[in-house]
């Protein structure tokens, strides 16, 4: 290139004056740069481009390296200036559709105006690299149905976003697993046959690398074998108790080809009492069940126990069985009679050594002296485990003699199991008589009783009562009277209250009769003793009004007195009768009421108003009383 130079002087006014000239020649300079390929790595699909000896006829704003394998993967890279003045670029095939083969690299210098000046180029070759990975099967456990898959020596022509391990035993149980990266750079997966329909046999494992775009690159595979494992379990029978009808089933050494969600122990003595039990896990890892024959119709004999493992899907896997024997146990109980008290008419029944082949909900003691007084009692449990009952003869019609007590155990279903019985004897206590008689002259005061022809019943009754008193005193009998003159004494309860407060042996109420019809032909003597009537409840004698001993001795007294009266007087015998008269109801000792003749019969009135007749009546009454004492073991 020819370059001409002229010389001019410029004055202060700006004018130019020529002073000569010369010429020279500038040669054309080509841009230069040395392109070197470094660190080519076929496995990773990378290489470095380094540019040195850089020069350009223009200024260099940046170094541009367009790179491609095929025209559709051309990339324009800007190289990076290094500390030594060179420029460097790392090319990765992932930016070129992961292609292998010949890569072309051109060199351009971009000047500050944005213009590009070419300075050469080069090529390099990336060989195709197969993905690799070493698959190792570890920790295969046939019993648990598991194995580990470990992948090492990992490489892929593409980036590796995750390691995928599709695994199957048959095509319908294929599972695509993602392995987990370990601290040493390997990848690991644990396979469990429960995720493959619990199948055993050959398992196939393939290895894939998934790249960031989601593509999969196969890198091999392997197989392993899970052998079929039979479920196992040791069944032990412990704590067999024939008396209680129980035994424990313990299961140890437990294993199953499937997971174990629960341990099931179907148990039976006969097919109609089969029960499916779930055993309870113990702290030592064993499982335990307590079997009670009450849940199997209280049967004894051979019990069969099978062992099943239930998995999380509800399936059952059998693992064996065993048998045991519960012997029949007879119910037992020791019955002891304690604290027998003839005077009070009571005794205690105590039951010890209690056992039954069934559960014992309560202890029953049916007790009787005769069949018509049987009572079913429930005994009360004591602090020492025994059972106790107090029997009182008042609940058995006040009877003495032999009492029978049977023992039954009632179970929770209401069934009764007999366990024996015993007898005891309540004797009739010897009565300590006071030999005192309480005489009750009927009516008195404002209450005249029957009145006919100017004759009042109250006066007749008092006359006979006074004569009876004298007769009894002659026999050595003490006498008390509800009245000794003509005054009011309440007949409803007061006469009985006075008697009950005494120690008298018996009570006699003296009356004369009337039909209430004006004039009658009624005649004769009658004697009454107590008859219970639910419409007339006792007010002051609830405890003794129906006492069998009182009633029995009242009946004897009524008969002895009536017999003596008829024999002495020759009067018409109207018999012994029963009524619920107040003085009979409220008096606590043997009591009678005598009606000594009819005042409304004019003929009979003429007899009964005679003092001499009163003497005969009193004599007969006294003899009847003495006959009563003889009958009830008195004098």
Active site residues: 595
Residues near 601 by Cβ (< 8 Å), separated by ≥ 6?
Answer: 519, 520, 521, 522, 523
Distance CA 499, CA 587 (A): 7
Question: At residue 175, what are phi and psi to the nearest 5 degrees?
Answer: -130, 135
Q: Which two tokens stand for residue 521?
A: 């032909």
602 SS3 class: helix
Task: Report CA-CA distances (Å) from 153 to 132, 156, 218.
Answer: 7, 10, 14
Enumerate the β-bridge partners of residue 54.
none
Q: How many CB atoms lie within 10 A of CB 462?
A: 23
And the tokens for 463?
A: 């006359």
Q: What gap in Å lies between CA 584 and CA 295, rounded to an integer?
A: 59
3-state helix/strand/coil string of 382-413: CCCCCEEEEEEHHHHCCCCEEEEEEEEEECCC
**Cα four-point dihedral sign 568, 577, 514, 468:** positive
Contact criterion met (CB below 8 Å) for 434 and 477: no
- Sheet (strand 287-292) strand order: 232-241, 246-255, 287-292, 280-281
Whole-angstrom distance, CA of residue 579 vs CA of residue 561: 17
The encoded tokens of residue 141 equal: 């456990």
Backbone angles phi, psi at 607, to 5 degrees: -80, -50
Closest CA to 427 of 395, 406, 402, 404: 402
Query: What is the spatial distance between Cα 473 and Cα 479, in angstroms, rounded to a whole number?
Result: 7
DSSP state, residue 490: -
Q: Which residues pair with 608 in a beta bridge?
A: none
278 within 8 A of 262, measured Cβ to Cβ: yes
User: Which residues make Cβ contacts (< 8 Å) with residue 8, sequence separation at least 6?
Assistant: 16, 17, 18, 19
| Residue given tokens 């008042």 in the structure block | 394
- Please say whether the beta carbons of 176 and 189 come within 8 A: no
What are 585's two structure tokens?
């109801």
Residues 6+ apart with CB under 8 A from 187: 150, 151, 154, 163, 179, 180, 181
Q: Give the separation between CA 158 and CA 182, rounded to whole angstroms.
A: 21
Q: Report the residue count for the chain.
A: 635
**Strands 316-326, 175-178: parallel, antiparallel or unpaired by DSSP?**
unpaired
Closest CA to 85 of 55, 59, 52: 52
């Amino acid at each position: 290139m020819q370059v001409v130079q002229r010389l001019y002087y410029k004055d202060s006014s700006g004018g130019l004056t020529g002073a000569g000239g010369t010429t020279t020649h500038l040669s054309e300079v080509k841009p230069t740069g040395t392109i070197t390929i470094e660190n080519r790595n076929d496995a990773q699909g990378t290489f470095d481009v380094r540019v040195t000896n850089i020069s350009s006829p223009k200024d260099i704003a940046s170094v541009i390296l367009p790179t491609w394998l095929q025209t559709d993967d051309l990339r324009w890279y800007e190289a990076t200036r290094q500390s030594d003045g060179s420029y460097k670029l790392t090319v990765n095939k992932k930016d070129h559709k992961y292609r292998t083969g010949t890569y072309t690299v051109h060199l351009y210098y971009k000047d500050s105006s944005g213009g590009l000046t070419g300075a050469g180029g080069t090529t390099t070759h990336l060989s195709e690299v197969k993905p690799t990975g070493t698959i190792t099967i570890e920790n295969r456990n046939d019993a648990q149905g598991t194995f580990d898959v470990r992948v090492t020596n990992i490489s892929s022509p593409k980036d590796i976003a995750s390691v995928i391990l599709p695994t199957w035993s048959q095509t319908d149980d294929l599972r695509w697993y993602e392995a987990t990266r370990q601290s040493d750079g390997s990848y690991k997966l644990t396979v469990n046959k429960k995720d493959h329909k619990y199948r055993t046999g050959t398992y196939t494992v393939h290895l894939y690398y998934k790249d960031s775009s989601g593509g999969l690159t196969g890198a091999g595979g392997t197989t392993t074998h899970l052998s079929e494992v039979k479920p196992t379990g040791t069944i032990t029978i412990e704590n067999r108790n024939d008396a209680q009808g129980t035994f424990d089933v313990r299961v140890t050494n437990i294993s199953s080809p499937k997971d174990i969600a629960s341990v099931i122990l179907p148990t039976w003595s006969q097919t109609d009492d089969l029960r499916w039990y779930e055993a309870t896990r113990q702290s030592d890892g064993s499982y335990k069940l307590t079997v009670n024959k009450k849940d199997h119709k209280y049967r004894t004999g051979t019990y069969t126990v099978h062992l099943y493992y239930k998995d999380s899907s509800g399936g059952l896997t059998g693992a064996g069985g065993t048998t045991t024997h519960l012997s029949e146990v007879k119910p037992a109980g020791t019955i002891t009679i304690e604290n027998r008290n003839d005077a009070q008419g009571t005794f205690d029944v105590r039951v010890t050594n209690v056992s039954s082949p069934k559960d014992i909900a309560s202890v029953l003691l049916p007790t009787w002296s005769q069949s018509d007084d049987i009572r079913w009692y429930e005994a009360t449990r004591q602090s020492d485990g025994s059972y106790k009952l107090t029997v009182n003869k008042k609940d058995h019609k006040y009877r003495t003699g032999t009492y029978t007590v049977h023992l039954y155990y009632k179970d929770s279903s209401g069934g009764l199991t007999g366990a024996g019985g015993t007898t005891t004897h309540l004797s009739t206590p010897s009565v300590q008589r006071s030999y005192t008689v309480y005489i009750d002259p009927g009516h008195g005061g404002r209450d005249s009783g029957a009145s006919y022809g100017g004759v009042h019943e109250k006066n007749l009754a008092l006359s006979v009562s006074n004569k009876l008193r004298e007769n009894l005193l002659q026999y050595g009998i003490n006498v008390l009277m509800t009245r000794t003159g003509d005054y009011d004494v309440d007949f409803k309860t007061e006469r009985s209250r006075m008697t009950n407060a005494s120690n008298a042996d018996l009570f006699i109420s003296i009356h004369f009769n009337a039909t209430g019809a004006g004039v009658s032909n009624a005649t004769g003597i009658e004697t009454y003793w107590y008859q219970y009537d639910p419409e007339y409840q006792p007010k002051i004698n609830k405890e003794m009004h129906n006492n069998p001993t009182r009633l029995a001795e009242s009946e004897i007294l009524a008969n002895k007195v009536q017999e003596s009266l008829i024999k002495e007087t020759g009067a018409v015998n109207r018999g012994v009768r029963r009524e619920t008269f107040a003085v009979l109801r409220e008096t606590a000792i043997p009591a009678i009421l005598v009606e000594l003749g009819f005042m409304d019969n004019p003929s009979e009135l003429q007899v009964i108003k005679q003092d001499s007749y009163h003497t005969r009546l009193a004599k007969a009454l006294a003899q009847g009383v003495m006959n009563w004492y003889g009958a009830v073991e008195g004098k």
